[in-house]
Amino acid sequence: MRRRIGSGAFATVWLAHDDHLDSLVAIKVLADNWTDDLHVRQRFIEEGRFLRKVESPHVVAVYDAGVLEDERPYLVMAYADQGTLADRLEVSGLSSAQALTVITQVGRGLEALHDRGVLHRDVKPGNVLFRTVENGRGSHVVAMLGDLGLGKAMDMSSRLTMVGGTPAYVAPEQALGEPLDPRADQFSLAALSYYLLAGRQPFDHRSLAAAEDPAPPPSMGIDNPAADAVVLRGLAKDRDDRFEDVAAFTAALVEALGGDAGEEPRAWIPVDPDLATEVRAASTAAGSTAGSAYGSTAGDSSAGRRGGGRRWPWVAAAVLTLAAGTGAGWAAERASTSEREVEDATGTIAVTVPESWTAQVDPEPWTPAGGRAQQPSIASGTREGWNSEDDPAPGVFVGILPGEKLPSRLPSHPECGPSRGPIFDERDGDDYMTTFSYDCQGLEVTVERVVRLNQNQLLWIQIRSDELGTANRVLDSVTTYGV
């Protein structure tokens, strides 16, 4: 092991040198606090199995897998030394030729997965990794797909599974929880193509619920009607109106743009030596805008860290499952009669909680689903895993996310009994939207609240409590600074 290059809610990624391969590799190890969670452990192992099935330069390779002495599974994976597509797009856009190369290479990765009977289900910029490859023509930056945390074998896709994906890229049938086939990945690739060619996303979905019934996206406005028609067909709401497979989609787009998918431009994006430094390598291995490049491995989230942040995305159409990060957790003495104010790492958010709710505090930023920038957040609960679906416990999460208006609905909680809301209110010039769900699994109440802070920022609060009075006091104690 050379150094730790990333840490997420479910796994830690280490940079190492493989003496047999004579190259740098990324070793992804399941976090020790999830070793006994059979569901999380199984998802971690399944990701490795899916990736081991595929032999393609455009899918992140798994070289080896095993179990440590403490029974934590690990994966030895290809090291993406040139960051992610999300990293590149934060700096500048791509030319049409560069965009076409990325699209075709990602398409080849999807074809390889589909040929092996695997769906990716989460194609987006943060899951497109770049790696330097040396051959007779010199150094080339190759695009490859990573993060199969949502990957599913096609023979399992007809069974009922947790809804997941990124709202801006997910196919309607996937958002609805319907049985899937490769045309769902084609839809996501078409959404990525639209973004790369038009410079904007085809949809502005804030949740998976909004992706269930999308309106036809507008023209890309690129002065190429043929390419426009290809991408819009790939984004058809009805999967029967799309191309028969990914290969047909990419071939049609190549023809429309006058490119040659069989030739990859030499050094089409310059190799960036700075991306190999420890700071940038951490973002490469631990994740980026769309989640961890090497995958979060659990549930239908893309929980991963980028520069210390984490992703806590929406899942199951309208249900958000929080997955607290472990690296910043800390233990404290607890007294049920006292309270403590906790705040996020940036000093933007503060909330007062019972002392017993500070057994695990995570003050690090999060990256909201569909966003590309980290936002302040704070999570505090009575124990590790307090915000899990299977074994919840009292705690609170507060995070800032981009948004111009309140959502049409808040996450529902099927594990709870009756609910009250949504309740709309206004206080000190801020618009509120709140729901209360009662008789929850092992708890009295779960509270969801979204506050419109300003013209382009929202504040999201989730509280789980065994007493309604405590939940209300915590809710009213939330304070923001500088926003």
Domains of the chain by residue range: 85-257, 318-480
Calculate mean pLDDT across residues 390-414.
Answer: 84
Residue positions annotated with a catalytic role: 122
Determine the pLDDT at residue 266.
Answer: 44
134 phi, psi to nearest 5 deg: -100, 130
Tally of CB atoms within 10 A around 70: 8
pLDDT exceeds 90 at position 209:
no
pLDDT exceeds 60 at position 80:
yes
Amino acid letter for position 172? P
Annotated binding site: 28
The pLDDT-based confidence of 299 (bands split at 50, 70, 90) is very low
d(CA 481, CA 421): 28
Residue-wise pLDDT tens digits, 441-452:
778 899 999 998
Residue-wise pLDDT tens digits, 121-166:
889 998 898 988 876 666 778 899 987 655 555 544 433 344 556 7
Calculate mean pLDDT across residues 279-307.
Answer: 34
453 DSSP assignment: -
The pLDDT-based confidence of 172 (bands split at 50, 70, 90) is very high
Share of the chain above pLDDT 70, in %: 76
Second-level CATH architecture of 85-257: Orthogonal Bundle (1.10)
d(CA 448, CA 435): 5
Determine the pLDDT at residue 1.
Answer: 52
Residues 6 or more apart whose CB falls under 8 angstroms from that of 305 comprise 6, 7, 8, 282, 286, 287, 292, 325, 327, 364
Annotated binding site for ATP: 28
> What's the mean pLDDT when you consider all of the chain?
76
pLDDT exceeds 90 at position 455:
no
Determine the pLDDT at residue 234.
Answer: 98
The region of weakest confidence among 140-154, 190-204, 279-293, 430-444 is: 279-293
Calculate mean pLDDT across residues 393-418.
Answer: 84
d(CA 12, CA 5): 8
Q: Which CATH class is domain 318-480?
A: alpha beta
pLDDT exceeds 60 at position 291:
no
Among the ranges 97-101, 130-134, 243-247, 468-472, which has the highest mean pLDDT value? Answer: 243-247
What DSSP line would sit under 137-192, residue for residue?
TEEEEEEEE---TT-EEGGGTTS-----S-TTT--HHHHTT----THHHHHHHHHH
pLDDT exceeds 70 at position 92:
yes
Q: Which two tokens stand for residue 274?
A: 């700075």
Helix (H, G, I), strand (E, B) or coil at 125: helix
Calculate mean pLDDT across residues 289-316.
Answer: 30
Higher-confidence position of 371 and 108:
108
